[in-house]
Amino acid sequence: MNGESSMILIGIGTAGAAIARGVSRAFGGGLRLVLADTDAATGEAGGPFTLLGGDRLSGRGAGGDVVAGRLAAEDSVKVLDEHLDGVRLAIIVTALGGGTGGGATLETAKHLSARGVPSVVFATTPFSFEGEDRQRNARGIMSMIEDAANSTFFLPLDKLVDNVDNMQEAMRRAIDTVASGVTLFWRLVERPGYIRLDTERLRHIISGAGRGRFAAVTAQGQGRASEVVDRLIRSEMLATSSGPVRSTLCGILAGDDLLLSEVGKIADGVRGAFAGLTFDLATVNDEATFSGRISVVLMLFESGAKAEDEARPGSVMSGRRRRTKGALSSGPTGRGRFKNAEPTIWNGEDLDIPTFIRKNLNLDF
Ligand SMILES: Nc1nc2c(ncn2[C@@H]2O[C@H](COP(=O)(O)OP(=O)(O)OP(=O)(O)O)[C@@H](O)[C@H]2O)c(=O)[nH]1
Ligand SMILES: [Mg+2]
Protein backbone atom coordinates (compact mmCIF):
# COMPACT_ATOMS: atom_id res chain seq x y z
CA MET A 1 0.00 0.00 0.00
CA ASN A 2 1.21 3.46 -0.83
CA GLY A 3 0.63 5.65 2.21
CA GLU A 4 1.56 8.77 0.22
CA SER A 5 -1.34 8.53 -2.17
CA SER A 6 -3.96 11.26 -1.92
CA MET A 7 -6.61 8.96 -3.32
CA ILE A 8 -8.33 6.11 -1.51
CA LEU A 9 -10.45 3.28 -2.86
CA ILE A 10 -13.25 2.21 -0.51
CA GLY A 11 -15.05 -1.06 -1.27
CA ILE A 12 -18.43 -1.32 0.48
CA GLY A 13 -20.56 -4.46 0.94
CA THR A 14 -19.64 -8.00 0.04
CA ALA A 15 -19.58 -7.70 -3.75
CA GLY A 16 -18.34 -4.09 -3.52
CA ALA A 17 -15.36 -5.23 -1.45
CA ALA A 18 -14.61 -8.01 -3.93
CA ILE A 19 -14.66 -5.56 -6.85
CA ALA A 20 -12.46 -3.08 -4.94
CA ARG A 21 -10.01 -5.85 -4.08
CA GLY A 22 -9.78 -6.76 -7.77
CA VAL A 23 -9.25 -3.15 -8.79
CA SER A 24 -6.56 -2.75 -6.16
CA ARG A 25 -4.80 -5.87 -7.44
CA ALA A 26 -4.75 -4.34 -10.91
CA PHE A 27 -2.77 -1.47 -9.40
CA GLY A 28 -0.15 -3.76 -7.94
CA GLY A 29 -1.05 -2.55 -4.46
CA GLY A 30 -0.20 1.06 -5.33
CA LEU A 31 -3.55 2.38 -4.22
CA ARG A 32 -4.77 3.11 -0.69
CA LEU A 33 -7.56 0.67 -0.02
CA VAL A 34 -10.09 -0.01 2.68
CA LEU A 35 -12.92 -2.52 2.61
CA ALA A 36 -16.05 -2.05 4.71
CA ASP A 37 -18.85 -4.53 5.23
CA THR A 38 -21.34 -5.65 7.84
CA ASP A 39 -20.29 -9.23 7.12
CA ALA A 40 -17.16 -10.28 9.04
CA ALA A 41 -16.42 -12.97 6.42
CA THR A 42 -15.46 -10.22 3.96
CA GLY A 43 -12.52 -9.35 6.20
CA GLU A 44 -11.23 -12.88 5.99
CA ALA A 45 -10.77 -12.61 2.22
CA GLY A 46 -7.85 -10.20 2.70
CA GLY A 47 -7.20 -6.46 2.49
CA PRO A 48 -7.54 -3.73 5.12
CA PHE A 49 -11.01 -4.27 6.55
CA THR A 50 -13.49 -2.34 8.67
CA LEU A 51 -16.49 -4.11 10.16
CA LEU A 52 -19.61 -1.96 10.10
CA GLY A 53 -22.44 -2.31 12.62
CA GLY A 54 -20.59 -4.81 14.78
CA ASP A 55 -22.82 -4.29 17.81
CA ARG A 56 -26.00 -4.15 15.81
CA LEU A 57 -25.48 -6.95 13.31
CA SER A 58 -22.77 -9.06 14.95
CA GLY A 59 -20.83 -9.40 11.72
CA ARG A 60 -23.54 -11.35 9.93
CA GLY A 61 -24.39 -8.89 7.16
CA ALA A 62 -27.48 -6.76 6.61
CA GLY A 63 -29.49 -9.58 5.03
CA GLY A 64 -30.59 -7.49 2.07
CA ASP A 65 -32.09 -4.78 4.30
CA VAL A 66 -30.96 -1.33 3.18
CA VAL A 67 -32.18 0.31 6.39
CA ALA A 68 -30.12 -2.13 8.45
CA GLY A 69 -27.09 -1.36 6.24
CA ARG A 70 -27.62 2.35 6.76
CA LEU A 71 -28.00 2.13 10.51
CA ALA A 72 -24.95 -0.10 10.76
CA ALA A 73 -22.90 2.46 8.88
CA GLU A 74 -24.31 5.34 10.89
CA ASP A 75 -23.08 3.59 14.03
CA SER A 76 -19.59 2.97 12.79
CA VAL A 77 -18.68 5.02 9.73
CA LYS A 78 -16.25 7.09 11.81
CA VAL A 79 -13.91 4.12 12.01
CA LEU A 80 -13.01 4.92 8.40
CA ASP A 81 -11.42 8.15 9.58
CA GLU A 82 -8.19 6.44 10.50
CA HIS A 83 -7.72 5.72 6.79
CA LEU A 84 -8.44 9.25 5.59
CA ASP A 85 -5.35 11.21 6.56
CA GLY A 86 -4.19 13.25 3.57
CA VAL A 87 -6.94 11.89 1.33
CA ARG A 88 -8.10 14.39 -1.29
CA LEU A 89 -10.32 12.10 -3.33
CA ALA A 90 -12.26 8.98 -2.32
CA ILE A 91 -13.49 6.45 -4.85
CA ILE A 92 -16.27 4.28 -3.47
CA VAL A 93 -16.96 0.99 -5.19
CA THR A 94 -20.13 -0.89 -4.39
CA ALA A 95 -22.79 -3.22 -5.73
CA LEU A 96 -26.39 -2.16 -5.13
CA GLY A 97 -29.10 -4.72 -4.50
CA GLY A 98 -28.20 -5.94 -1.00
CA GLY A 99 -28.43 -4.06 2.28
CA THR A 100 -24.87 -2.95 2.93
CA GLY A 101 -23.81 -1.81 -0.52
CA GLY A 102 -26.66 0.67 -0.75
CA GLY A 103 -27.19 1.74 2.86
CA ALA A 104 -23.57 1.99 3.94
CA THR A 105 -22.50 3.73 0.73
CA LEU A 106 -25.00 6.49 1.39
CA GLU A 107 -23.75 7.01 4.94
CA THR A 108 -20.11 6.85 3.86
CA ALA A 109 -20.60 9.42 1.11
CA LYS A 110 -22.35 11.73 3.58
CA HIS A 111 -19.57 11.27 6.10
CA LEU A 112 -16.88 12.02 3.52
CA SER A 113 -18.73 15.10 2.40
CA ALA A 114 -18.92 16.34 5.99
CA ARG A 115 -15.15 15.90 6.23
CA GLY A 116 -14.63 17.84 2.99
CA VAL A 117 -13.41 14.78 1.07
CA PRO A 118 -14.91 14.56 -2.42
CA SER A 119 -16.28 11.18 -3.42
CA VAL A 120 -16.85 9.42 -6.70
CA VAL A 121 -19.12 6.37 -6.50
CA PHE A 122 -19.00 3.45 -8.93
CA ALA A 123 -22.00 1.22 -8.22
CA THR A 124 -23.28 -1.78 -10.12
CA THR A 125 -27.04 -2.25 -10.28
CA PRO A 126 -28.54 -5.75 -10.13
CA PHE A 127 -29.16 -8.10 -13.00
CA SER A 128 -32.82 -8.21 -13.95
CA PHE A 129 -32.82 -11.94 -13.19
CA GLU A 130 -32.09 -11.14 -9.53
CA GLY A 131 -35.71 -10.10 -9.12
CA GLU A 132 -37.81 -7.12 -8.18
CA ASP A 133 -36.75 -6.89 -4.51
CA ARG A 134 -33.12 -6.29 -5.35
CA GLN A 135 -34.00 -3.90 -8.16
CA ARG A 136 -36.18 -1.97 -5.73
CA ASN A 137 -33.40 -1.89 -3.14
CA ALA A 138 -31.10 -0.40 -5.74
CA ARG A 139 -33.58 2.06 -7.20
CA GLY A 140 -34.60 3.29 -3.76
CA ILE A 141 -31.12 4.34 -2.75
CA MET A 142 -29.65 5.57 -6.04
CA SER A 143 -30.87 9.14 -5.97
CA MET A 144 -29.91 9.49 -2.30
CA ILE A 145 -26.37 8.33 -3.07
CA GLU A 146 -26.34 10.68 -6.01
CA ASP A 147 -27.18 13.60 -3.73
CA ALA A 148 -24.60 12.64 -1.12
CA ALA A 149 -21.65 11.91 -3.42
CA ASN A 150 -19.96 14.31 -5.79
CA SER A 151 -20.14 12.05 -8.84
CA THR A 152 -21.84 8.73 -9.35
CA PHE A 153 -21.57 6.09 -12.03
CA PHE A 154 -24.27 3.44 -11.99
CA LEU A 155 -23.23 0.42 -13.98
CA PRO A 156 -26.10 -1.93 -14.85
CA LEU A 157 -24.81 -5.50 -14.65
CA ASP A 158 -27.19 -6.45 -17.49
CA LYS A 159 -25.28 -4.10 -19.76
CA LEU A 160 -21.83 -4.76 -18.36
CA VAL A 161 -22.21 -8.42 -19.12
CA ASP A 162 -24.33 -8.59 -22.19
CA ASN A 163 -25.39 -12.16 -23.00
CA VAL A 164 -23.54 -13.70 -20.06
CA ASP A 165 -25.58 -14.66 -17.03
CA ASN A 166 -22.63 -15.83 -15.04
CA MET A 167 -21.61 -14.12 -11.81
CA GLN A 168 -17.91 -14.83 -12.23
CA GLU A 169 -17.88 -13.14 -15.61
CA ALA A 170 -19.99 -10.31 -14.18
CA MET A 171 -17.49 -9.77 -11.40
CA ARG A 172 -14.56 -9.76 -13.83
CA ARG A 173 -16.30 -7.25 -16.07
CA ALA A 174 -17.23 -5.03 -13.14
CA ILE A 175 -13.62 -5.07 -11.94
CA ASP A 176 -12.26 -4.26 -15.39
CA THR A 177 -14.68 -1.44 -15.96
CA VAL A 178 -14.26 0.17 -12.58
CA ALA A 179 -10.48 -0.28 -12.83
CA SER A 180 -10.35 1.75 -16.02
CA GLY A 181 -12.31 4.60 -14.42
CA VAL A 182 -10.18 4.50 -11.30
CA THR A 183 -7.03 4.44 -13.42
CA LEU A 184 -8.04 7.63 -15.12
CA PHE A 185 -8.71 9.50 -11.89
CA TRP A 186 -5.62 8.11 -10.22
CA ARG A 187 -3.31 9.04 -13.04
CA LEU A 188 -4.84 12.45 -13.59
CA VAL A 189 -4.39 13.23 -9.94
CA GLU A 190 -0.95 11.74 -9.47
CA ARG A 191 0.84 11.19 -12.77
CA PRO A 192 -0.60 13.27 -15.58
CA GLY A 193 0.63 12.93 -19.16
CA TYR A 194 1.60 15.69 -21.53
CA ILE A 195 -1.91 17.06 -21.93
CA ARG A 196 -2.62 17.79 -18.32
CA LEU A 197 -5.78 18.44 -16.53
CA ASP A 198 -5.09 20.83 -13.72
CA THR A 199 -5.87 19.12 -10.41
CA GLU A 200 -8.14 21.97 -9.34
CA ARG A 201 -9.99 21.64 -12.64
CA LEU A 202 -10.41 17.92 -12.07
CA ARG A 203 -11.72 18.56 -8.57
CA HIS A 204 -14.04 21.17 -10.00
CA ILE A 205 -15.38 18.72 -12.61
CA ILE A 206 -15.89 15.99 -10.04
CA SER A 207 -17.43 18.30 -7.48
CA GLY A 208 -20.46 19.13 -9.53
CA ALA A 209 -20.61 16.28 -11.95
CA GLY A 210 -23.64 14.42 -10.60
CA ARG A 211 -24.71 11.24 -12.31
CA GLY A 212 -22.39 10.12 -15.05
CA ARG A 213 -21.96 7.41 -17.61
CA PHE A 214 -18.65 6.04 -18.61
CA ALA A 215 -17.04 3.58 -20.91
CA ALA A 216 -13.49 2.50 -21.59
CA VAL A 217 -12.22 1.00 -24.83
CA THR A 218 -8.80 -0.12 -25.93
CA ALA A 219 -7.42 -0.58 -29.42
CA GLN A 220 -4.10 -1.10 -31.11
CA GLY A 221 -2.51 -1.12 -34.52
CA GLN A 222 -3.09 1.20 -37.41
CA GLY A 223 -6.40 2.99 -37.21
CA ARG A 224 -6.57 2.54 -33.44
CA ALA A 225 -7.68 6.14 -32.88
CA SER A 226 -10.65 5.80 -35.26
CA GLU A 227 -11.46 2.43 -33.79
CA VAL A 228 -11.74 3.69 -30.22
CA VAL A 229 -14.00 6.52 -31.33
CA ASP A 230 -16.21 4.09 -33.27
CA ARG A 231 -16.48 1.76 -30.35
CA LEU A 232 -17.24 4.53 -27.87
CA ILE A 233 -20.06 5.69 -30.12
CA ARG A 234 -21.45 2.14 -30.13
CA SER A 235 -21.02 1.60 -26.41
CA GLU A 236 -24.16 0.48 -24.58
CA MET A 237 -22.72 1.91 -21.39
CA LEU A 238 -22.84 5.42 -22.78
CA ALA A 239 -26.24 4.99 -24.34
CA THR A 240 -28.07 4.74 -21.01
CA SER A 241 -29.39 8.23 -20.78
CA SER A 242 -31.34 9.68 -17.94
CA GLY A 243 -30.49 13.22 -18.93
CA PRO A 244 -28.59 15.31 -21.44
CA VAL A 245 -24.81 15.49 -21.41
CA ARG A 246 -23.58 18.53 -19.61
CA SER A 247 -19.86 17.93 -19.40
CA THR A 248 -17.49 15.46 -20.96
CA LEU A 249 -14.18 14.20 -19.64
CA CYS A 250 -12.05 12.23 -22.07
CA GLY A 251 -8.88 10.53 -20.87
CA ILE A 252 -6.44 8.96 -23.29
CA LEU A 253 -4.09 6.43 -21.73
CA ALA A 254 -1.22 5.47 -24.00
CA GLY A 255 2.46 4.72 -24.35
CA ASP A 256 5.23 6.87 -25.82
CA ASP A 257 4.03 6.23 -29.37
CA LEU A 258 0.87 8.31 -28.96
CA LEU A 259 0.68 10.74 -31.87
CA LEU A 260 -0.73 14.23 -31.64
CA SER A 261 -2.77 13.45 -34.75
CA GLU A 262 -4.34 10.56 -32.85
CA VAL A 263 -5.17 12.81 -29.91
CA GLY A 264 -6.81 15.19 -32.38
CA LYS A 265 -8.80 12.42 -34.03
CA ILE A 266 -10.08 11.10 -30.73
CA ALA A 267 -10.89 14.57 -29.38
CA ASP A 268 -12.76 15.53 -32.56
CA GLY A 269 -14.62 12.23 -32.78
CA VAL A 270 -15.67 12.23 -29.15
CA ARG A 271 -16.58 15.90 -29.12
CA GLY A 272 -18.67 15.42 -32.25
CA ALA A 273 -20.62 12.48 -30.86
CA PHE A 274 -20.94 13.41 -27.20
CA ALA A 275 -20.91 17.17 -27.15
CA GLY A 276 -21.58 18.69 -23.76
CA LEU A 277 -21.33 22.21 -22.50
CA THR A 278 -17.75 21.60 -21.42
CA PHE A 279 -15.20 19.22 -22.86
CA ASP A 280 -12.04 18.29 -20.99
CA LEU A 281 -9.27 16.23 -22.47
CA ALA A 282 -6.26 14.73 -20.75
CA THR A 283 -3.63 12.18 -21.62
CA VAL A 284 -1.92 9.73 -19.34
CA ASN A 285 1.42 8.38 -20.42
CA ASP A 286 2.40 4.91 -19.34
CA GLU A 287 4.77 3.20 -21.73
CA ALA A 288 5.11 0.09 -19.62
CA THR A 289 1.40 -0.65 -19.58
CA PHE A 290 -0.03 0.81 -22.75
CA SER A 291 2.81 0.46 -25.24
CA GLY A 292 1.31 0.07 -28.71
CA ARG A 293 -2.21 0.56 -27.44
CA ILE A 294 -4.59 3.36 -26.72
CA SER A 295 -7.15 3.14 -23.98
CA VAL A 296 -9.78 5.84 -23.90
CA VAL A 297 -11.94 6.42 -20.85
CA LEU A 298 -14.91 8.61 -21.61
CA MET A 299 -17.05 10.09 -18.86
CA LEU A 300 -20.27 11.92 -19.62
CA PHE A 301 -21.87 13.93 -16.84
CA GLU A 302 -25.42 15.09 -16.72
CA SER A 303 -24.99 17.94 -14.28
CA GLY A 304 -22.78 20.95 -14.72
CA ALA A 305 -19.92 22.32 -12.74
CA LYS A 306 -20.67 24.07 -9.52
CA ALA A 307 -21.27 27.73 -9.27
CA GLU A 308 -18.04 29.68 -9.00
CA ASP A 309 -18.51 30.54 -5.34
CA GLU A 310 -18.73 26.84 -4.52
CA ALA A 311 -15.71 26.13 -6.67
CA ARG A 312 -13.21 28.22 -4.75
CA PRO A 313 -10.28 26.24 -3.37
CA GLY A 314 -11.16 25.31 0.18
CA SER A 315 -14.87 25.28 -0.47
CA VAL A 316 -14.85 23.31 -3.67
CA MET A 317 -15.84 19.99 -2.25
CA SER A 318 -18.17 20.95 0.51
CA GLY A 319 -21.57 22.46 0.29
CA ARG A 320 -24.43 21.30 -1.81
CA ARG A 321 -24.29 20.77 -5.50
CA ARG A 322 -26.30 23.08 -7.68
CA ARG A 323 -28.59 20.90 -9.76
CA THR A 324 -28.39 21.79 -13.42
CA LYS A 325 -30.14 18.85 -15.00
CA GLY A 326 -31.86 19.58 -18.23
CA ALA A 327 -29.74 22.62 -18.96
CA LEU A 328 -28.17 23.42 -22.30
CA SER A 329 -26.78 20.47 -24.17
CA SER A 330 -26.69 19.14 -27.65
CA GLY A 331 -26.80 15.64 -26.13
CA PRO A 332 -25.26 12.48 -27.45
CA THR A 333 -25.80 11.66 -31.08
CA GLY A 334 -25.19 8.89 -33.54
CA ARG A 335 -25.53 5.78 -31.39
CA GLY A 336 -28.90 4.58 -32.58
CA ARG A 337 -27.76 2.60 -35.58
CA PHE A 338 -24.99 0.91 -33.59
CA LYS A 339 -27.22 0.07 -30.67
CA ASN A 340 -27.05 -3.68 -31.05
CA ALA A 341 -23.51 -3.97 -32.38
CA GLU A 342 -21.26 -6.72 -31.02
CA PRO A 343 -18.03 -5.80 -29.20
CA THR A 344 -14.88 -5.96 -31.30
CA ILE A 345 -12.74 -8.97 -30.62
CA TRP A 346 -9.13 -8.70 -31.77
CA ASN A 347 -6.91 -11.78 -31.83
CA GLY A 348 -9.34 -13.53 -29.55
CA GLU A 349 -9.21 -10.71 -27.01
CA ASP A 350 -12.01 -8.37 -26.10
CA LEU A 351 -10.42 -4.99 -26.55
CA ASP A 352 -12.98 -3.39 -24.27
CA ILE A 353 -11.08 -4.88 -21.36
CA PRO A 354 -8.33 -2.59 -20.12
CA THR A 355 -4.94 -3.78 -21.24
CA PHE A 356 -3.44 -4.03 -17.80
CA ILE A 357 -6.17 -6.43 -16.80
CA ARG A 358 -6.10 -8.53 -19.98
CA LYS A 359 -2.34 -8.84 -19.79
CA ASN A 360 -2.43 -9.35 -16.05
CA LEU A 361 0.05 -6.51 -15.62
CA ASN A 362 0.68 -4.67 -12.44
CA LEU A 363 0.74 -0.93 -12.74
CA ASP A 364 3.95 0.16 -11.15
CA PHE A 365 3.69 3.67 -9.83
N1 LIG B 1 -20.51 -8.82 -10.30
C2 LIG B 1 -20.98 -9.54 -9.25
N3 LIG B 1 -21.96 -9.03 -8.59
C4 LIG B 1 -22.40 -9.71 -7.53
C5 LIG B 1 -21.86 -10.93 -7.08
N6 LIG B 1 -22.54 -11.30 -5.98
C7 LIG B 1 -23.45 -10.35 -5.78
N8 LIG B 1 -23.38 -9.38 -6.72
C9 LIG B 1 -24.18 -8.17 -6.89
O10 LIG B 1 -24.07 -7.43 -5.71
C11 LIG B 1 -25.35 -7.08 -5.26
C12 LIG B 1 -25.27 -6.90 -3.78
O13 LIG B 1 -25.04 -8.15 -3.17
P14 LIG B 1 -24.10 -8.30 -1.92
O15 LIG B 1 -22.79 -7.68 -2.15
O16 LIG B 1 -24.12 -9.74 -1.56
O17 LIG B 1 -24.90 -7.45 -0.81
P18 LIG B 1 -24.27 -6.58 0.35
O19 LIG B 1 -24.02 -5.21 -0.12
O20 LIG B 1 -23.14 -7.33 0.98
O21 LIG B 1 -25.49 -6.47 1.37
P22 LIG B 1 -25.93 -7.53 2.51
O23 LIG B 1 -25.32 -8.85 2.15
O24 LIG B 1 -27.40 -7.50 2.46
O25 LIG B 1 -25.37 -7.00 3.78
C26 LIG B 1 -26.24 -8.18 -5.79
O27 LIG B 1 -27.59 -7.78 -5.90
C28 LIG B 1 -25.62 -8.48 -7.12
O29 LIG B 1 -26.13 -7.62 -8.11
C30 LIG B 1 -20.80 -11.48 -7.82
O31 LIG B 1 -20.26 -12.55 -7.52
N32 LIG B 1 -20.40 -10.76 -8.93
MG1 LIG C 1 -23.18 -9.10 2.16
Rounded to an integer, the average pLDDT of 313-329 is: 30
- Residue 156: nearest ligand to its CA? 1
Q: CB of 53 closer than 6 A to ligand 1?
A: no
Give 286: exposed, middle or buried? Use CB within 10 Å, 0-12, 13-18, 19+. Answer: buried
Q: What per-residue confidence (pLDDT) applies to 131? A: 92
Give residue 240's pLDDT.
Answer: 59
Q: Judge whether residue 117 has pLDDT over 70.
A: yes
| Residue range 18-61, pLDDT digits in tens | 999 988 887 766 789 999 999 999 999 989 999 999 889 999 99
| Ligand 1 centroid – CA 15 distance (Å) | 4
Cα–Cα distance between 108 and 71 in angstroms, integer? 11
Q: What's residue 53's pLDDT?
A: 94
| Closest CA to ligand 1's atom 17 | 98
Instruction: Using most ligand atoms within 8 A of CB, pick from 19, 137, 167 the residue to mutate for ligand 1.
Output: 167
Digit-coded pLDDT (tens) for 57-97: 999 999 999 999 999 999 999 999 999 998 888 999 999 99
> What domains are there in the chain, each with its CATH number?
7-189 (3.40.50.1440), 211-358 (3.30.1330.20)
pLDDT per position as a tens digit, 123-176: 999 988 899 999 999 999 999 999 999 999 998 888 877 666 577 877 787 787
Nearest to 94 by CA among 187, 21, 169, 180: 21
pTM of the model: 0.80
CA 125 / ligand 1 centre spacing (Å): 9
Is the pLDDT confidence value at 120 over 50? yes
The dihedral built from the CA positions of residue 141, 143, 149 and 151, taken in this order, carries a sign that is positive
CA 89 to chain centre: 12
What number of helices (H) and strands (E) belong to the chain? 15, 12
What pLDDT score does 341 carry? 38
Closest approach atom of ligand 1 to CA 104: 19
Q: Closest Cα to atom 13, ligand 1: which residue? A: 98
The mean pLDDT value of the chain amounts to 78
**What per-residue confidence (pLDDT) applies to 243?**
67
Measured CA distances, 16 to 1, 34, 65 (Å): 19, 11, 16
Q: What is the pLDDT of residue 31?
A: 82
CA 299 to CA 214: how far, in whole Å? 4
pLDDT at 349: 43
Confidence of residue 242 (pLDDT cuts 50, 70, 90): low
Which of 28, 36, 213, 2 lies closest to 125 in space, CA to CA? 213
pLDDT at 327: 23
What is the mean pLDDT of the segment spanning 348-359? 43
pLDDT tens track for 260-295: 999 999 999 999 998 777 888 888 888 877 889 998
Q: How far apart are CA 247 and CA 303, in angstroms?
A: 7
User: Residue 227: what pLDDT?
Assistant: 97
Of 200 and 295, which is predicted with more confidence?
295
